[in-house]
Amino acid sequence: MHFNLPLSKSVVVSHLGLTLMSASTEVQLFIPWKGASPLNLPVAWSYFLQPFSFPGGSIMDETVAEYIRRTVLKMPRDEIKMMLQKWGFLSEAQLQTLNFHQQKDNISQEVVQLCEENSAGIKQAAALDIIYNHIYQNKRMWSVYQMKKSGEEEEYFDIADFKKKFKGRIRSALKNVTITFKEYEDNAIWIRVAWGTPHKKPNQYKPSYVVYHSQTPYVFISASVLKSNLPLLCQALIVASNYRDIREMELRSHSLNSLKDIVFKRYSQNFQTYSPKPVQGWNVEAENADRRIVHENRSVKERIHRLNQESFGCGPQPKLEFAQYRLDTMFKSDPKMDVLDKKEPFRCLVKFSSPHLLESLKSLAPLGMADAPLSPLLTCITHKARNYFKIREKKESFVSP
């Protein structure tokens, strides 16, 4: 569909699929059918019939408006106000004018209108996206990368320097990118990168997210689908943080905080200490309120509890969703049975999944579903900071690359 319209003033178009080609007297409109619902078209037309100008005199980019609109639509209705407040781009007075009890479609339209008044650009839109993704970080899959030092100690970390080097490295290879930073109080630096190509503007709907804590060798990346940009991203990170090399660890999860707990050693490990805190034994008395019940195997239960605590510690476990073991070992059977004709390694993939894998592993022995202590292959996950393993035939112990 193709429209030619003479216009005397510049207008703002902020709806699905309408692309403003030029803001001069003549405007060509391309309306792709995908996403353009008949309901929205009349509203779009109304903008043309009543052109209006802005205090700043500048037009908000149509793509920016659309992106803000879709970002607001993603938010749960009762959280929109809070996120807009965190964003800080709209004034308190402007937020008061919004009606948060109507349909989200309408709320988002109103938000976009206010953004137009303030002449929002892609920077502000990206900042709003970071806020949403920071709160809903567990919707994304995060991988952990480890960097290696070049040898000299760094005196201190200067964030301005980091940002400059990061942007510089990326822009030297690719001009069409949107890079946004946001620092949080726990020293986490969030970086959002929207990637384009030499000929196309950045795709704001498939950005990569990077979370970095200064002066640590770990980076958490939730890559976009466009995996080809990953090497450039990694390059920029080591340049900016003064490291020599970066490699992907075999550790992935949706829970970013749990990944941080594992590599920052914030989870509860079982260390033997002369600590004055009370020993947390399995309290039979609490479970045995009824004196008519006698626990015959109390010592067994206590032993299981003790072994379990040695493996998993006494605190809450980091939240992982799966552990994957790629087996490349020989099948061991009774030689008389000779199950396999050829002496070939038995290849298979074993994957454990759970909404909270480590807690469920921890409860296996006390529930009687497995013997305590559990296999070290399962209990070493947090200590080795990995949930992807390759097990090869090598003297009964596993070797992972």
Partner 1 sequence: AQERQEQLQEREKFLKSRIQELRQRRDALREKVRQAVSELGNLGIASEPDPREVLEWKIQKCRELLRLFRLTGISGKLSPHGISLSLHTSFEGSLLDSFHLELQERGDSGRFWLCRHSVPPFIPLERLARELLPRNPRQFLGILCRHLNTFVGRREQLRKLQEEFPDSVQVLSQNSLCNFLSFRYRIPAESSGEFQEFRAQLRYRDPTGTRPDDVTAVTGDGVAVPEHSELLRRLPLHRALRQIHDTTAGTTTTG
List of residues contacting partner 1 (CB under 8 A):
153, 155-159, 183, 187, 213-218, 263-266, 269, 271-276, 383
Determine the Cα–Cα distance for residues 50 and 31; give it in Å rounded to an integer: 19
Rounded Cα–Cα distance for residues 33 and 19 (Å): 12
State the nearest-atom distance from the C-beta of 380 to partner 1, in Å.
Answer: 11
C-alpha to C-alpha distances, 384 to 232, 248, 265, 311, 376, nearest whole angstrom: 28, 14, 11, 13, 11
Output the smallest distance, CB 94 to partner 1, in A.
24
C-alpha to C-alpha distances, 6 to 11, 14, 44, nearest whole angstrom: 12, 19, 16
Closest Cα to residue 297, out of 279, 309, 312, 284? 284
Specify the residue, 18 or 262, whose C-beta has the smaller distance to partner 1: 262
CB of 267 to partner 1, least distance (A): 9
User: Taking the complex as a whole, how short is the minimal distance between the CB of residue 190 and partner 1, in angstroms?
Assistant: 14
Beta carbon nearer to partner 1, 114 or 372 = 372
Residue type, 75: M
Which C-beta is closer to partner 1: that of 231 or that of 376? 376
Number of other residues whose CB lies within 10 A of the CB of residue 212: 23
Q: Which residues are bridge partners to 365 per DSSP?
A: none
Distance CA(152)–CA(193), nearest Å, equals 29
Nearer to partner 1, 106 or 270 (CB): 270
Cβ-Cβ contacts under 8 Å for 51 (sequence gap 6 or more) = 7, 8, 9, 10, 11
- Our CB check for partner 1 shows the closer of 42 and 276 to be 276
**Nearest approach, Cβ of 265 to partner 1 (angstroms)?**
5
Cβ distance to partner 1 smaller for residue 168 or 315: 315
